[in-house]
Amino acid sequence: MEACKPESFPLLNDLCQSQSQIFPPTPPDTDKEYSDSSSDPSDTEAIKPQSHHHDTLNPPLLPPYPLPPSPRPDNTVLTEDLKTPDNHVVRDPRLIRLTGIHPFNVEAPLSELYDEGFLTTKGLHYVRNHGAVPKVEDTEILDWDFTVEGMVDNPIHMNLAQLLQDYQQLTYPITLVCAGNRRKEQNIVRKTKGFSWGAAGLSTALWTGVAIGDLIRAAMPRRGARYVCFEGADKLPNGYYGTSIKLSWALDAERGVMLAHKMNGETLPPDHGKPLRVVIPGQIGGRSVKWLKKIIITKEPSDNWYHIYDNRVLPTMIDPEMSADLPEVWKDERNAIYDLNTNSATCFPAHDEILPLGGPEHAVYKVRGYGYAGGGKRISRVEITLDKGKTWALANVSYPEDQYRLAAEGETLYGGLVDLSWRESCFCWCFWELDIPITQLQAADDIMVRAMDEAMMVQPRDMYWSVLGMMNNPWFRVVIHKEGHTLRFEHPTQPALMPGGWMERVKKSGGNLTNGYWGEQLAGEAEVAEIVAEAKEICMTNSKVDRIISLEELKSHDGETEPWFVVNGEVYDGTAFLEGHPGGPTSITGAAGQDASEEFLAIHSENAKAMMVDYHIGTLDKTSQSLLAADGEPTAASENAPPREVFLDHKVWTKAILSAKTSVSHDSKIFTFDLEHADQAIGLPIGQHLMMRLRDPVTREAILRAYTPLSPSTDRGKLDVLIKLYRATATQQGGRMTTALDSIPLGHFVDFKGPTGKFEYLGRGRISISGRERKVRRFVMVCGGSGITPIFAVLRAVLGDRDDPTSCVVLDGNRTEEDILCKAELDAFLVDNEHRYKLNYLLSQPGPAWTGGRGRIDRDLIVREVGPCQSTDGADMLLVCGPKPLEESVLSIFTDMGWKKDDMVFF
């Protein structure tokens, strides 16, 4: 039989009614075995499906609807979670982690999710956690209390036992979908501010609980109340997680909003809100608050940080950098996501699935997938095209949810009434399938699917990119590759950092994914391959070293005298470099006994990596490597510990909240952070710096940089950091750290660690370099741009003490007058300090009104303003911070003038 022509594709259903061969086999149905489910509402045990071996004389009564498949009995707490706050949570190892080890954000492999059937087991249900999972013991479940408060005449404070006793229990299926489902596709087109979900960020379960409308009516909302706010028990850097929906939705029984305490007949698992959560059908999962503690009736939407800065679709022209300075756009409720949009995806053929050719003449392949819509709407149509949308064929659509509408009147399941017969809304995903002749697949380049809901809203052909990467729903395209006597299928992407997918391949080859043709080269369009620089492999190990080191031996060197640390499984002894490290000994001792791979690789140059060969002493054994990875990084004190007096710790990353951004020039800002409490000291010695860490929102790679804050060491509760922003231009990328930092909104957290640095000013001419004290009479300070910050810290300390006899000469080079940072403060220091302070500004691009120095910091200037080295006993000290060319020039000039390297410090 010849391959069908594309124009005949809409008729293929009529062509394949006999002698069909199905690839791959149909997955097993969701378990439909039945047992009497009228259990007591307080029962928290799952109803176990009966055995498939039945008494033929007394067959069991089968319900008209599916029951959940049995979860895996051997799941346990996973090794990678043992040293995280989630060390009490049982999880399925099949789940794909999207944000590293912690917090736990996962989706199932798409094929396995589909194969479980209509209902998803607790093990494979997707999880979206913003932080640690609250620990609730089984004995505490019934005592879990929550409130209904705000604009109500009858505030309610009750526990779960009362909720079970006083209110009608309901059970029905609901599909939850993360707003980020399919975000990886957007991240490949252009990075968003979200991590990379694949197409399995959705799951369906049977939820048992109370209609929230019953509870709210009992609280008697007042006139003018319009919103219901929810707040959970998961404490996060920006407060407890919370959000809101409209009050009218919560009161509408057709909407089906529920306070759930069971999932698939069992007590809620910890990852899914144990013991009480909100479940909102038809809306994004981010509105269904877990670990519920408060229901607040209000006039306005929630002012919770997570309600404002998450789950939004901002206009497509707003990029991550712009979004950071648009608080009113974030607060605009028109940008908030509530109802899901219409979406579909292909599950089979799976990614990289191979289909052998040469079978029966009329063989067909059953293409299958899922679809869903929002706001209670039903998917009314699913269409497939093999010719990029020229012609379409209708797929067969099944709605397992409708089987629950056939439940007998008064029937209960898991203690809840199964009564959907009256409800018109659709709360769940549906399944579509279409038998396609294999000959037609051979003739096609791809398979694309689109769905339409009953409001005639159809998936768009093209992507609508937005800064958070949410609600992504263009046609789902699977590419077909002809490889010998087989067909290989390629999905758009793979989740998280997993490689693969036609979008990644097309982008790497120079294709324009936004050209409206899926990145395919158009007629007359020049092919431009993306030039990917080949990573230079740096050897960091000594081939002559074959020593195997245990974790116990490593941990015995976690102090300050003989610090050992691990990079990529190899052990290094930092003892010999304690004095010579540019960041001071704490840069090494802070990593002692730990896996320093992330920090080391993020901030060190190729030269530094090449030096590691000299410090390599062995390899950590495989078991120890696993244990060290599970150990995770040291964390700050627990929530119940007394508040720390000092913020910085050189071994522990600590979070501070971004509270303000203040522009001080066209490319520089002061970022203000709130510390853990108002009386907390920063803990940074004068002249030293701290490490700041952010994570790339897509790759989750750590971005680390060292900064000297503007804040005096005496400040408490707040931290000011002056940072020059390196923005992207048409010819070069922006700075990774400054781009990321400038794009986060106020209220976001940033990690800090320190102090580091080998130099410290102890006051009145006393300094310490790598732990060795000495006395100086004069500082020569050379800086450029934002390199003023460590200079400014020392200068402020000297001139702020009237009894400090140390003199200071400052040479500050910049392009324009606007580029001079801290100018007002530097000028103010001149008052009453002329005898010990000389200030020189140099501009390479001065304006006509500039009366100060012109040009660059060169030898003539230095000889004129600094003069010869005044002593040979180390009484003069050079401090330098600025761009690399400036530092190299200054080093050369001062060396030629007879200065010793011991008398120079480069920050």
Question: Do residues 563 and 574 touch, judged by C-beta distance below 8 A?
Answer: yes
Secondary structure of residue 148 in the 3-state scheme: strand
Dist CA 851 CA 831 (whole Å): 20
Task: Describe the chain by its helix, strand, coil percentages, rounded to 5.
Answer: 20, 30, 50
From 16, 178, 426, 430, active-site residue: 178
Asked if 178 is an active-site residue, the reply is yes
Amino acid at 613: V
* CA separation, residue 62 to residues 51, 116, 315, 407 (Å): 13, 19, 50, 11
Is residue 687 within 8 Å of residue 790, measured between CB atoms? yes
Give the Cα separation of 463 and 854 in Å (integer). 52
Tokens read off for 424: 């018109």
How many whole angstroms separate alpha carbon 448 and alpha carbon 396?
A: 15
Radius of gyration, alpha carbons of the chain: 32
Sheet containing strand 227-236, strands side by side = 156-159, 145-150, 292-298, 227-236, 239-246
Token duo for residue 273: 């809100």
Whole-angstrom Cα distance, residue 655 to residue 752? 6
CA distance 192 to 469: 5
Identify the CA nearest to 52 among candidates 42, 64, 60: 60
**Has 631 been annotated as catalytic?**
no
- The C-alpha atoms of residue 423 and residue 419 are separated, in whole angstroms, by 8
Read off the amino acid at residue 107.
E
Catalytic residue among 105, 311, 343, 814: 311
Spacing of C-alpha 366 from chain mean position: 36
* DSSP, residue by residue, 568-583: TTEEEE-GGGTTT-TT
Of the residues 310, 435, 742, 812, only one is catalytic, namely 310
Residue 627 CB partners (closer than 8 Å, separation 6+): 551
- Give me the residues paired with residue 68 across strands: none
What does each C-alpha distance from 850 to 159, 664, 845 come to in angstroms?
72, 19, 10
Active site residue 105: no
Q: Print the SS3 string covering 489-523.
A: EECCCCCCCCCCCHHHHHHHCCCCCCCCCCCCCCC
The alpha carbon dihedral of 216, 221, 225, 231 has a sign of: negative
272 touches 290 (CB < 8 A): yes
**In 70-116, where do the E strands start and end?**
96-97, 105-107
855: its two tokens: 């040009």
CB 449 within 8 A of CB 433: no
Which of 305-342 are b and which e, b meaning 16 or more Cβ less than 10 Å from the residue's Cβ?
Answer: bbbbbbbbbbeeeebbbebbeeeebbeeeebbbbbbbb
Which has the closest alpha carbon to 745: 327, 336, 301, 337? 327
- The residues that are catalytic are 178, 310-311
